[in-house]
């Protein structure tokens, strides 16, 4: 499967990492900052439906889910409709844990990572992300910090390197693309499908919390 990487766009200046961050696939790496817009659809029969576009309005991904499921389930599709990732919420946990699998699978062998709130009570948004290989989870592999209410969050690696940032888009795209639009800047040599997946989980966890930060 081939994938067209977005062309360079305006964004923060950052040198490529010495070691690329690849969680989903190396095809989602770029040597420059990648800016994406994530938009929740205005009218949909499916829960958790989003579109992800580049700065030129080109469709990059679609996130979809369904009311007709025993578990909260989402899928990240590429522009051709091929499943890239499957998201499932563990309904028995108190930390709003989501697990993310490769493709259209929910088999444990295809688990890529999981994410959960860092604590039960939070005054600021904080999310811990664990790779599937980190079975003990005695330390996080990635961390999200900021304010989801203000759509201002930063994704860090475990050594505190910034990998991506999300911020509210206040332009005309809000009225054109959907009811809730925010921009995500992914830093060079960082898997932008992974960053999109983390932001989707972050959104779902905060929706479960009814807008509380």
**What are the extents of the domains in the chain?**
34-208
Query: Tens digit of pLDDT per residue, the chain (213 long)?
Result: 545 555 444 444 455 677 899 999 999 999 999 999 988 775 555 555 788 999 888 999 999 876 545 457 899 999 999 999 999 988 765 567 899 999 999 999 999 999 998 876 556 778 999 999 999 999 999 999 998 777 789 999 999 999 999 987 655 454 444 456 789 999 999 999 999 999 989 888 887 544 343
Separation between Cα atoms, residue 163 and residue 154, nearest integer Å = 8
The predicted model scores a pTM of 0.83
Burial 181-207 (b: 16+ CB within 10 A, else e): bbbbbbbbbbbbbbbbbbbbbbbbbbb
Domain 34-208 CATH superfamily: LURP1-related (2.40.160.200)
Separation between Cα atoms, residue 105 and residue 84, nearest integer Å = 10
CB atoms within 10 A of CB 161: 14
């Amino acid at each position: 499967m081939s994938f067209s990487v977005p062309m360079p766009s305006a964004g923060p200046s950052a040198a490529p990492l010495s070691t690329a961050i690849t969680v989903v696939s190396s095809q989602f790496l770029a040597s420059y900052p990648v800016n994406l817009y994530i938009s929740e659809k205005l009218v949909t029969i499916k829960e958790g439906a989003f579109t992800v576009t580049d700065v030129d309005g080109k469709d990059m991904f679609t996130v979809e889910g369904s009311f007709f499921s025993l578990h909260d389930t989402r899928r990240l599709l590429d522009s051709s409709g091929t499943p890239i990732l499957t998201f499932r919420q563990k309904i028995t946990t108190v930390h709003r844990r989501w697990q993310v699998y490769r493709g259209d699978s929910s088999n444990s062998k295809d688990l890529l990572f999981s994410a959960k709130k860092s604590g039960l009570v939070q005054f600021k948004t904080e999310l811990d992300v664990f790779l599937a290989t980190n079975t003990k989870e005695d330390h996080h592999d990635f961390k999200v910090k900021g304010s989801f209410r203000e759509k201002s969050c930063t994704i860090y690696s475990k050594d505190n390197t910034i990998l991506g940032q999300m911020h509210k888009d206040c332009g005309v795209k809000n009225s054109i693309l959907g009811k809730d639009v925010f921009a995500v800047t992914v830093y060079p040599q960082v898997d932008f499908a992974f960053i999109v997946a983390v932001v989707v989980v972050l959104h779902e966890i905060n929706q479960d919390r009814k807008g509380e930060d």
